[in-house]
Amino acid sequence: MSDNNNFKVFSGTVTKYLAEKICAELHCELGNMSVAHFSDGEFEICFDESIRGQDVFLVQSTFPNADNLMELLLMIDAAKRASARTVNAVVPYFGWARQDRKSKPRVSIAAKLVADMLSVAGITRLITMDLHADQEQGFFNVPVDHLYASSVMLPYIDSLNLENLVIAAPDVGGSKRANTYSKYLKCPLVLCNKTRKRPNEIAEMQIIGDVTDANVVIVDDMVDTAGTITNAADLMMSRGARSVRAVASHCVMSGNATERVQNSSLTEIVFTDSIPYVRGGSKVKQISIASLIAEAIRCVLHNKSISSQYLI
């Protein structure tokens, strides 16, 4: 039986695989929606069933960015115009989040712009996971339920039963997340300090801390080109680490990232399924967050606290 008869879940094109798992957890059917494409690249969203008076949950990660973001915006607009009671955007991976501030003069702050676009389109609430920067929740004027991949990653790390475990942050910006993991797991923390020539290109990296004879787990929010992660793994192995693994929330893995991982010293790299991964690298593993998101939806529907889900 369904958890509630007054809600419906719909999926955008790119995240249907995850929406189906979420619906299985919620014991409901995935809603019927169609996308009509025009020859010039435009598309039209249509809900193929009534959603009047319903709490609607629209599941769509915005990667790759532009088309899937536009699809989500049109889904929101269509739901609002179809008299949905609430329009809840479920965005497991929030694209453009790395552009959260002015890092140099005369640049855009894309994360704030996307937040404004979603708000103007008509969302009632945002459910997302591991934003690049926690303060991006403040870009929205609607409630934001910010989930953490640690709820699925920490049990996985525990299950490995690694001796002499060390948690590592791939850069200074990720030190808070890695420190939280190290405290929970009661193990040491090391940091990677890197400098960049330009975006996605590392100039230099140093390891701060001892990794000798350690089984290292690098913790990050996303992996894009995999340059940082693989360089860190190779450097740690050269410094005497026994093994190096990585866990990250979002599997962006663009360009030659899979090849870099395959050719690196990493034993494995573990992601959630917030973004689909189809390239088939033998070192890449995904853990589903469907139950995590489904429980968040239940909490929203029944006005319960979501923080009870968090391990850390």
The residues annotated as belonging to the active site are 194
> What is the C-alpha to C-alpha distance for residues 114 and 300, in angstroms, rounded to an integer?
23
Among 6, 87, 88, 10, residue whose Cα is nearest residue 45: 10
Q: How far is Cα 185 from Cα 168, in angstroms, rounded to an integer?
A: 12
| Non-local CB neighbours of 63 within 8 Å, separated by 6+ positions | 14, 93, 95, 250, 252, 275
CA–CA separation, 45 vs 99, rounded Å? 28
The vertex-293 CA angle with 290 and 294, nearest 5°, equals 80
Q: Report the DSSP beta bridge partners of residue 196.
A: 202
23: nearest Cα among 296, 236, 290, 306: 290
Sequence-separated contacts (24+) of 201-210 with Cβ below 8 Å: 201/227, 202/227, 202/228, 202/231, 205/231, 205/232, 205/235, 207/232, 207/235, 207/236, 207/239, 209/166, 209/168
Instruction: Give the CA distances from residue 253 to residues 170, 176, 276, in Å, rounded to whole numbers and listed in that order.
Output: 16, 23, 10
SS (H, E, C) 109-170: CHHHHHHHHHHHHCCCEEEEECCCCHHHHHHCCCCEEEECCHHHHHHHHHHHCCCCEEEEEC
DSSP structure class, residue 95 = T
Give the integer Cα–Cα distance in Å for 268 and 217. Answer: 10
